[in-house]
Structure 1
Amino acid sequence: MGDLTIDFDKRLVTLNKNPVHFTPIEYKILEILTQYPGKVVTYDQIIKDIWGPYTNENQTLRVNMANIRRKIEKNPAEPKYILTEVGVGYRFVDEI
């Protein structure tokens, strides 16, 4: 997608052909979002997929998302890859 490339077989993310390091949780969030390009993935679904059904990790999810955006977005305040649907979840764009 644009300058961002994700090789799921190698578990490798590159931006402008430079590798980008992600923690295991950050990578899992990115992986979940990219499975549904253009569609909103709810906060609850992401939290359930990563931390299980009996946790409330809203703040942790926000912190991880901020870290992901700092790593892949030119301007994290105006993201072009991962958009926030306020009160619902996040959407990985399907085209740039």
Structure 2
Amino acid sequence: MVSRVLVVDDDPTVSEVVGRYLRRAGFLVDLVGDGPAALRAAAAAAPDLVVLDLMLPGMSGLEVCRRLRAHGDVPIVMLTALGDEADRVVGLETGADDYVTKPFSPRELALRVQSVLRRAGGSRPGASVPELEDGDLRVNPDAHLAFRNNTQLPLTVREFDLLVHFLRHPGRVFTRADLLEQVWGWTVGDQATVTVHVRRLREKIEVDPARPARIVTAWGVGYRYERTGH
């Protein structure tokens, strides 16, 4: 099945180049230049992934991200200006799954899109993976679903990947660099990405996110998952 990608960028040159590379990679691509048009396009033909520039006229990319997140869990890859770390962190907190900084390689962006979509799709048919459980927490990697107290958790693609990784390695300490490489697949990148996703994940799986019992901080090192169930 061919995946549909919605590209939202007000620079027609960027949109055209990105669209061309994504089509070459085998995607159906819709191009729009502002936030309202993006929301209309998403409502008319639900995308499998959105490539979203943060700097948009009228309605900001962050607001578009919030509104898309309010209506579903479509994966979002942000485009941000080089050095705009604060905006990037806010975008990740809003629910984006990945980011690429401008100027960027269209080929790199296409690879990022493929990676996020592959993770969002879960495991391949025939490669069934056992469910992961910890007390009131239950995760089905095949279906890409997570539940706490039998209520489905609204996790982004990267939050889900991070949770699965922790559940598969309880008691082990991971540095932010470890997680960036093993969960995101990046050998270089902004480690603040990991910090933001851990904070967001804690808000969804911890009884008291301010005093996490599951994803605990190993001070000066990184994070460790502690099982709470039996």
Structure-1-length-normalised TM-score:
0.88
Equivalent position of 2:195 in the other structure: 62
Is the 1:41–1:90 Cα contact (8 Å) retained in structure 2?
A: yes
Matched residue of 1:68: which SS?
A: helix
Could you tell me how far 1:62 is from its partner in structure 2? Answer: 0.9
What is the aligned partner in structure 2 of residue 53 from structure 1?
A: 187
Instruction: Render the CA deviation track for 1:2-29: whole Å, top value 9, x for unaligned.
Output: 1111112221110000000111111111
Q: Deviation per CA, 1:13-57, whole angstroms, max 9, x where unpaired?
A: 1000000011111111112212211111221110112151022x2
Query: Match of 1:43, as an amino acid?
Result: R
Q: TM-score, normalized by length of structure 2?
A: 0.39
Higher relative contact order (CA 8 A, sep 6+): 1
What RMSD, in angstroms, separates the aligned Cα atoms of the two structures? Answer: 1.4
Larger radius of gyration: 2
Q: Are 1:33 and 1:90, in contact at CA under 8 Å, matched by a contact in 2?
A: no
Mapped pair 1:21 → 2:149: no
CA–CA separation in structure 2 for the residues paired with 1:15 and 1:42: 26
Which residue number corresponds to residue 214 of structure 2? 81
Partner in structure 1 of residue 204 of structure 2? 71
C-alpha spacing 1:94/1:72, structure 2 compared with 1 (3 Å): closer
Percent identical among aligned pairs is 31
How many residues in Structure 1 have an aligned counterpart in Structure 2? 95
Cα distance in 2 for partners of 1:87, 1:28 equals 23
Measure, in 1, the Cα distance between the counterparts of 2:143 and 2:164: 13
Preserved CA contact (<8 Å) 2:171 2:225: yes
Structure 1 outlier segments of 4+, above 2 Å: none
